[in-house]
């Protein structure tokens, strides 16, 4: 059961995957989770709240429902993050 969860979380962390991630990076943009890691205090954790939102919906093409939500520390204060994942929402897969 734990291995199944880890496998699903690994798949979700890839956002829209493959060509959508590469297209995003080729435009000089960071992925949603990368942007969050740049903002939170170094060496602190980010607690992602809804990584399995929309899991197995839209033929499995809506990882995290196209958003990354969670809590992280910024200058020692807990902050709530909501970041759009353009590799999911910007991709023409969800209609």
Whole-number percent of the chain with pLDDT over 70: 92
Asked if residue 95 is part of any domain, the answer here is no
49: tokens are 């709240």
- Using the predicted structure, report yes or no on whether residue 91 has a pLDDT greater than 60: no
Asked if residue 94 is part of any domain, the answer here is no
Q: What does the alpha-carbon distance between residue 62 and residue 50 come to, in Å, rounded to a whole number?
A: 12
Residue 8's domain comprises 2-89
> Nearest Cα to 37, choosing from 5, 83, 6, 87?
83
Number of domains in the chain: 1
pLDDT digits 0-9 by tens, 46-90: 999 999 988 887 777 788 888 999 999 999 999 999 999 989 876
Q: Give yes or no for a contact between 81 and 68, defined as CB atoms under 8 angstroms apart.
A: yes
């Amino acid at each position: 059961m734990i291995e199944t969860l880890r496998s699903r979380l690994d798949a979700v962390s890839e956002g829209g995957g493959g060509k959508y991630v590469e297209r995003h990076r080729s435009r000089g943009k960071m992925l949603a989770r990368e942007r969050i890691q740049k903002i939170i205090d170094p060496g602190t954790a980010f607690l992602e709240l809804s990584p399995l939102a929309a899991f197995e919906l839209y033929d499995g093409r809506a990882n995290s429902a196209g958003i990354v939500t969670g809590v992280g520390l910024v200058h020692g204060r807990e902050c709530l993050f909501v970041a759009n994942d353009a590799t999911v929402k910007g991709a023409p897969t969800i209609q």
